[in-house]
Amino acid sequence: MGRGNVPVRRYLFSAPAQLLSLTFICALAALPCRGQSAPEKPGRQENPTFGLTGGQVLIGKLEEKVLTISTRYGKLEIPFSEVLRVRFSLRLSASEHQDFNAALARLRKKETDALDDLNAIGPGAYRHLVSERGLEQDEATRRQLAGLISEIETIEDIYLDGRDEITTGRFTARGTIETKQFHIQRGPLKLEIPNTDLVYIAWGELETSKSWKVTSSHIESSNRALDTGYKLRKGQKFSLEASGTMLWQGRSFGPAGISNHTWNSRNMGCLQWRIGKQPWQLAGPRFNGRSTGSGVLQLSVHLTSSGTSSGSFRVKLKSRKK
């Protein structure tokens, strides 16, 4: 029998049948084996960081499991396991609101200790201070209220929006958080903190954004640097971004300074930063790096005291910290 006479069995399948077979095989492959459970995602292990209105920061275990917020679209119940950050609008308790009204009335009567009493109420009075400053007719009282507002605005990580904010990995909700008390465990201690004392709750690293105005009076040679009041720890990452214009001896320049006029191997007029009394570092229009030490951030303009200068730089800082 010749090779060409060997019968060949052919299996013919239509295209739909082939697709159906492949689908069936893929479905079987996707099924887990009997007795085998799907792997669980590891839960979040770290405890959140709590920022308080007095500037204190603490870390502890949060006992609450769900956060309730009322929004313009309705009420939401969000598991804390999905929350990345909570920011609380500044608010006063009922008793603090009474204290605020009483202290404000005494301030308008020019009583000497009324301003201290208003200041002692804390950041929760922010929106009330802004409202009353807008209505105030007396110039001296309006200046006093403006001073209190400015002090609150310089507090680190303060949140000045009128609505609470909850950020998750999928969405951000704004409204009014209905949870009044938060229970926190720190070792053997159990703390109960009202929402009026909280600025934020966050997991992981916190991003902070601050800005300052550096003027032509903040010059290195006269030891009149701007003390920002913002504390950095050694090795902490941060960035600076500066804009604006200054004049020196009739010459205009930005945060990079005057390129063809140097002093001490650095452009005259450039923006600088340092921590405490450490040596000045070049910031220029942009800086991205780590703190060389632990202490308060200072900013200055690299100018000599001779000659006249004017103008300012607006400097914005971003940093992350635990």
Say if 22 falls within a structural domain: no
Question: Do 121 and 196 have their domain in common?
Answer: no
Domain count, the chain: 3
Question: Do 293 and 177 have their domain in common?
Answer: no
Q: Average pLDDT of 40-67?
A: 78
- Percent of the chain's residues with pLDDT above 70: 83
| Residue 156's pLDDT band (cuts 50, 70, 90) | low
Tell the residue number behind the tokens 């929006």, with chain if given: 161
Note the pLDDT of residue 183: 95
Note the pLDDT of residue 222: 76
Say if 43 falls within a structural domain: no
Question: Do 146 and 180 have their domain in common?
Answer: no
Residue 3 pLDDT greater than 80, yes or no: no
Contacts (Cβ under 8 Å, ≥6 apart) of 229: 154, 296
- Percent of the chain's residues with pLDDT above 90: 47
Phi/psi for 303 (5° steps) reads: -130, 150
User: What's the rounded Cα separation, in Å, for the pair 286 and 316?
Assistant: 10
User: What's the rounded Cα separation, in Å, for the pair 175 and 196?
Assistant: 15
Give me the sheet containing 281-282, strands edge to edge: 226-232, 295-301, 271-275, 281-282
Say if 236 falls within a structural domain: yes
- Specify the range with the lowest mean pLDDT, choosing from 37-41, 108-112, 128-132, 244-248: 37-41
Using only C-alpha atoms, the chain has a radius of gyration, in whole angstroms, of 31
User: What's the rounded Cα separation, in Å, for the pair 289 and 195?
Assistant: 35
Contacts (Cβ under 8 Å, ≥6 apart) of 269: 246, 248, 253, 257, 258, 261, 301, 302, 303
Say if 13 falls within a structural domain: no
Say if 118 falls within a structural domain: yes
Note the pLDDT of residue 314: 93
More confident residue, 4 or 52: 52
Question: Do 173 and 276 have their domain in common?
Answer: no
Cα 51–chain centre separation: 11
3-state secondary structure (DSSP) of residue 241: strand
Q: What is the mean pLDDT of the chain?
A: 82
| Structural domain that includes position 74 | 49-89+159-202
Question: Do 305 and 170 have their domain in common?
Answer: no
Question: Do 210 and 198 have their domain in common?
Answer: no
Sign of CA dihedral 294, 296, 300, 304: negative
| Residue 142's pLDDT band (cuts 50, 70, 90) | very high
Question: Do 254 and 304 have their domain in common?
Answer: yes
Note the pLDDT of residue 129: 92
Question: Do 249 and 303 have their domain in common?
Answer: yes
Q: Average pLDDT of 178-201?
A: 91
Q: Average pLDDT of 136-148?
A: 92
User: What's the rounded Cα separation, in Å, for the pair 267 and 253?
Assistant: 10
Q: Average pLDDT of 205-221?
A: 83
- Identity at 199, one-letter amino acid code: V
